[in-house]
Structure 1
Amino acid sequence: MEKTIDARGQTSVNQLVLAQNVLKTLSVDDKLNVVVDDITSAQNLEMMADEMNLPSQKIQQGTDYVVSLFVKKSFFVPQQDEIKKAEPLKLKNSFIVLIDSNLMGNGDEKLGAVLMKSFIYTLATLEEMPTKIVLYNSGVKLAAEGSEVLADLKRLQNGGAEIFVSSTSLEYYGLKDKLATGKPAGMADIVQIQLKAEKILRP
């Protein structure tokens, strides 16, 4: 059986959730085609397929992309993720996250943006959540209006993680009035957060 879903115009997280929900209704040797309207969404679906051990294929059709997922016996659908998306995340007193760039790693900027989006998304699906997230330098762009990871950052915040955004960095990038999530923090706050942290995670 072959099934096609139109996920154009939806957030990246919703696209992944929609695909996962449909995959769970399919049988071995079935095929799912997901239509999206940008390359980043297509790449996110390909990364999800890799994590599930699902063969995938991406085809561009005009300005849209069709990502085909081929169901095999060994594929893995993280059903627990669906539970976490439907229910508030439970906060565990564990670690803080420091993000100093809107990109992850050095090299190609488009790849860096995809990796950062995947990193934030993964944080939002973890059972063990960070207690605090600190954004500084160009990392503050992630919390500004228009950011593609805003939904996941807000989900982390709703789950109990506090988000601190460098006020100096916001001013430097002209984003002081465009902060969409989290709260401005001075250097004294950022230093104290790190001093009190038991574990620190960096992308």
Structure 2
Amino acid sequence: MSTKIEVNAMGDACPLPVVKTLKALKQLDGEGAVVTSVDNETAVKNISKMAQEKGCMASVEKISDSEWHVTVATAGAVADPEQDGADFCGASAGKGELVISVYTDCMGRGDDELGHKLMKAFIFAVTQQEELPATMLFYNGGAKLTVEGSPVLDDLKALAEQGVEILTCGTCLDHFGIKDQLAVGEVTNMYVIVEKMEQAVRVVRP
């Protein structure tokens, strides 16, 4: 007989909904399902992606405009999240690889107009390097660089075509109201951002 565990992640910011769901799946230790209640679509997407990476089935029920129930069903034990937590959100940066962390659309302090020009020049310069980064992380104001109308969008698309992983914080996109404008790469969460930084030998922040 399968077991069902209910998880309340209402009001939780990423990556807590994913982490809570993953820990509940571990507790099942066999066939069963975890039903997680969340209040934002970013959490829905992140949990669903985790389920796919773990070989589980995910289904979503929208209860209201501010509540979703994500059911993750498994036919067997799920690996310990403390051992392979990186696996559920896509490829991790390998040892020795470069990660570029972009937290603003304005490089440096002193003059914002100049800062925007410098950031555009920086991203272009990245495209010209012999060694390209494995991953580029965009969060807070940096999230504005990966959406439609961004002055560096063409350069970021060129990097993505060459295999550079472009990840943008979903909470940040939601905060600025631009999630539907994402034009390059994928949405991610803080759990993955931290893992990418920890697993890279070098992290560059303009």
TM-score, normalised with respect to structure 1? 0.54
SS at match of 1:130: coil
Alignment counterpart, residue 132 of structure 1, candidates 126, 130, 135: 135
Partner residue of 1:148 out of 106, 126, 151: 151
Residue 192 of structure 2 is matched in structure 1 by 189
Separation in 2, partners of 1:186, 1:148 = 24
> CA shift at 1:115, angstroms?
0.1
Conservation of the 8 A alpha-carbon contact between 1:95 and 1:197:
yes
**Corresponding residue of 1:105:** 108
Per-residue deviation at 1:94?
Answer: 3.1
Gaps of 5+ in 2: 1-95
| 1:85-108 per-position Cα deviation (integer Å, ceiling 9, x unaligned) | xxxxxxxx6310000000000111
| Letter aligned with residue 200 of structure 1 | V
> What are the Cα deviations for residues 133-162 of structure 1, in whole angstroms up to 9, with x where unaligned?
000001000001100100000111111110
Contact 1:157 1:163 in 2 (8 A): yes
Q: Do the aligned partners of 1:94 and 1:129 also contact (CA within 8 Å) in 2?
A: no
Preserved contact between residue 102 and residue 113 of structure 1 (Cα < 8 Å)? yes
AA in 1 matched with 2:183: A
2: distance between equivalents of 1:182 and 1:102? 17
1:177 is paired with a residue whose SS is helix
1:165 match: secondary structure: strand
**Greater RCO (Cα-Cα under 8 Å, separation 6 or more):** 2
Alignment check: 8 A CA contact 1:94 1:128 kept: no
What corresponds to 1:159 in structure 2?
Answer: 162
Which runs of 4 or more aligned residues in structure 1 lie more than 2 Å from their structure 2 counterparts after TM superposition? none
Q: Structure 1, unaligned stretches of length 5 or more?
A: 1-92
**Equivalent in the alignment of 1:95:** 98
Mapping 1:44-123, distance limit 5 Å: 94-123=97-126
Q: Secondary structure at the match of 2:101?
A: strand
Contact 1:142 1:149 in 2 (8 A): yes
CA RMSD of aligned residues (A): 0.8
